Amino acid sequence: MMMRDGYSKELACGTIASTGTLGILVPPSIMLVMMGDRIGVSVGDLFLGAVFPGLMLAAFYVAYILIIGFTRADMAPVSDDAEPISMRVIFSALRAALPTAGLIIAVLGSIFMGIATPTEASGVGALGATLLAAMRGRLTLDVLRSVGRETTKTTAFIFALIICATAFSLVLRGLGGDELIERASPACHLALTAS
């Protein structure tokens, strides 16, 4: 869409690539859930530790894009059919985002305040999303089938990652790779300090 509206390729690609990195940092991040399980740290604590840096990074991205938009209008042109920004447009956008923001706050807030575990909070989130879809008249049998299919795919991907990582570590240890890495570490350190 950005390319269609005349945005520069650099700004469009940079925006997508940089905001894509926020997915692993801003809760609910699957990467943080898996990392918490593997290193034995509370997922709620990881979420709490990642929220502020993620929001700060997002604010920096928005500020950068706004600065580019104001200083280099050729890189981020405003389309001719764009509605001018007014208080009505801002309130309309806020009103549309309020239910989703409330759901996010309810899920993450219950984790941060220790009311619910991440698993219990995910159930609250699923129920809230279902209720929001029903209130907007978008909850149909096709939607439920699609959600079930996508949930099954995501779960299968996560389990495939866990199985492959476990198999890799078993093969690495079975062939003595961990000992090789351990022996190579001091030699690499000496070589780097000598040069």
pLDDT at 195: 57
Share of the chain above pLDDT 70, in %: 94
How far apart CA 71 and CA 168 sit, in angstroms, is: 50
How far apart CA 104 and CA 146 sit, in angstroms, is: 22
How far apart CA 98 and CA 107 sit, in angstroms, is: 14
How far apart CA 137 and CA 63 sit, in angstroms, is: 36
Indicate the pLDDT class of residue 56, thresholds 50, 70 and 90.
very high
- Give one DSSP letter per residue of 4-54, joined into a string: TTT--HHHHHHHHHHHHGGGGTSSS-HHHHHHHHHHT--HHHHHHHHHHHH
Write the pLDDT tens digit of every residue in 118-176: 888 888 888 999 999 998 888 999 999 999 999 999 889 988 988 998 899 889 888 88
Q: For the chain, what are the domain ranges?
A: 1-82, 83-139, 146-195
Regarding pTM above 0.85, the answer is no
What DSSP element (H or E) covers 142? helix 141-174
How far apart CA 106 and CA 32 sit, in angstroms, is: 19
How far apart CA 46 and CA 43 sit, in angstroms, is: 5
Mean pLDDT of the chain: 85
